[in-house]
Amino acid sequence: HINALLNLPEIQSQWMRIHGGSHTSADVDRLLEIFVPMNKVSIRECGQLIPGIAELTKTLRERQIKIGSTTGYTKELLDILLPIAKEQGYQADALSYSGDTPLGRPSPQMMHKCAEQLGLFNPLSFIKVDDTLPGIEEGKAFGCWTVGVAVSGNALGLSLEELNALPKEESENLKNLARMKMQEMQPDYVIDSVADLMPIIDQINRRLDLGEKPNSL
């Protein structure tokens, strides 16, 4: 991620202006050493669940729907994050993280790892919910249903407090732009928040009964 950011033209030009040349792999390693401690602080400060997620988790449990998670976080960071999430009512049944598999997203290797942990191997019984292109592509590569999250994630990129502080017209414009961004990734469905997932699960179950498959198949 750090290397990808440094390769963005606007960041690369600033780097070259300040340092007089392109960044090296040693620079990436050095920045990672600075970033990880900052990330630990950020997790503690910003680890609140998205509104509605605890209730969604409870409903999924009642319906005996398992929860898996593939994440770009390292094990070191998850050791901080997972207890915070559990305290608020969210816990995954299966988990695969950065460095856990030879390849990360958009490879489906982490999803295969979760499937193995769950003992479930039919991709059509899985739904990949994500707010990034690599995450949506991961789901497609695995062969499952994909749901893009537009407003409560990266596509919008604002906290709930920041979003609520905006004038209504500006807020709606940004939401619509985020929805369009997610639609461009071509998931099977787009929702505003992960908390809006249950009606989509019902729709997918009806489509499965009709013998339908995800759009990517």
pTM: 0.86
44 neighbors 80 (Cβ within 8 angstroms): yes
**What pLDDT is recorded for position 11?**
95
Alpha-carbon separation of residue 127 from 27, 151, 185, 203, 214 (angstroms): 38, 19, 16, 12, 10
| Cβ-proximal residues to 72 (8 Å cutoff; 6+ apart), any chain | 1, 97, 98, 104, 105
Cα distance between residue 166 and residue 177, in whole Å: 15
Q: How large is the average pLDDT for residues 90-94?
A: 95
C-alpha closest to that of 5 among 30, 21, 28: 28
Interval 47-86: pLDDT, tens: 889 999 999 999 999 999 999 999 988 898 999 999 999 9
10 has pLDDT over 90: yes
C-alpha closest to that of 110 among 89, 130, 90: 130
Interval 99-144: pLDDT, tens: 899 988 899 999 999 999 999 999 999 999 999 999 999 999 999 9
Interval 159-199: pLDDT, tens: 888 999 999 999 999 999 999 999 999 999 999 999 999 99
**What pLDDT is recorded for position 24?**
93
**What pLDDT is recorded for position 168?**
92
**What pLDDT is recorded for position 210?**
96
**What pLDDT is recorded for position 215?**
86
Q: How large is the average pLDDT for residues 9-38?
A: 92
